[in-house]
Amino acid sequence: MGEAIVITSGKGGVGKTTTTANIGTALAILGKRVCLVDTDIGLRNLDVVMGLENRIIYDLVDVVEGRCTVQKALVKDKRFDDHLYLLPAAQTSDKSAVSPEQMKQLVDELKQDYDYVLIDCPAGIEQGYRNAVAGADEAIVVTTPEVSAVRDADRIIGLLENEEHIKPPRLIINRIRSHMVKNGDMLDVDEIVMHLSIDLLGVIADDENVIKSSNKGEPIVLDPSSKASIAYRNIARRILGESVPLQPLEDEQKGIFSKIKKLFGVR
């Protein structure tokens, strides 16, 4: 029996889908069987980020309405043998096509076959949100270091705390820019964590390569040299229960001169 984790944020555009794709991929790399579920019916994206758009035949609404079995609708990601699957959302209907009860039933069914079911939640707190959280056991809240995103994260955490079947949510802070934090132009990690007072699961630095790889349909996790990739892999390991320290955010100063300076304690 696996675990179902919903990835949500309240605000749109903070990186829910990218986070879902990358954590899912990272878990698959670590040898877990993972199923990604896109619940953003009508505005599906997860398939695009995963590069699986052209293989979709059936979708979530087809399954719920009984036009096919779950197994038939699942799209297998061939890069990871038998470890990663995607249940795409329908693009032609809207959020009201599915009810929370149906979603719960569907997720419970998937939990039988997979170690992790990652549910990509749509933005907002309406029907789409209610569908996404209905079957979840755990929740991850994604926010960016912007006041508006933090405000919405706070709202979502409040709603998640009222859902009795979900464990206390954990936080991912996405798109931190270390130089802006240093200048005091951006909220820093401590400030956000203190404000929201939930456990921090990980911090991901702002990285142009994330956008590049999303556009190519290859999650950034597949490129082990990128900082964002390491951050996502660390998050996956923390989900598995390992204790992995947070990566330092500052870019290492390069060059021999700075190394000598560091040696003498000059900044």
The reply on whether position 183 binds other proteins by CB under 8 A is no
Residue closer to other proteins by CB (options 86, 156) is 156
CA separation for the pair 162, 157 (Å, rounded)? 9
Q: Which long-range contacts (CB under 8 A, 24 or more apart) does 205-209 make?
A: 205/175, 205/176, 205/177, 205/178, 205/231, 205/249, 206/175, 206/176, 206/177
Q: Kindly state the smallest distance separating residue 246's Cβ from other proteins, in Å.
A: 23
Does the annotation flag 10 for ligand binding? no
The reply on whether position 154 binds other proteins by CB under 8 A is yes
Instruction: Quote the longest CA-to-CA distance of the chain.
Output: 70
Task: Name which of 117, 142, 132 is nearest 163 in CA terms.
Answer: 132
Does the annotation flag 69 for ligand binding? no
Given 112, 197, 225, 243, the residue binding other proteins (CB under 8 A): 197
Q: Kindly state the smallest distance separating residue 121's Cβ from other proteins, in Å.
A: 17
Does the annotation flag 51 for ligand binding? no
Residue closer to other proteins by CB (options 157, 236) is 157
Residue closer to other proteins by CB (options 72, 155) is 155
Q: Which tokens go with 74?
A: 């699942």
Task: Name which of 146, 122, 145 is nearest 132 in CA terms.
Answer: 122
| Among 29-37, 61-69, 115-123, 151-159, the segment contacting other proteins (CB under 8 A) | 151-159
Given 79, 195, 237, 238, the residue binding other proteins (CB under 8 A): 195
Q: Kindly state the smallest distance separating residue 82's Cβ from other proteins, in Å.
A: 41
Does the annotation flag 92 for ligand binding? no
- In the chain, which ranges are E strands? 3-8, 34-38, 75-76, 84-87, 116-120, 138-143, 170-176, 199-205
Residue closer to other proteins by CB (options 184, 248) is 184
CA separation for the pair 87, 89 (Å, rounded)? 7
Given 158, 168, 246, 251, the residue binding other proteins (CB under 8 A): 158
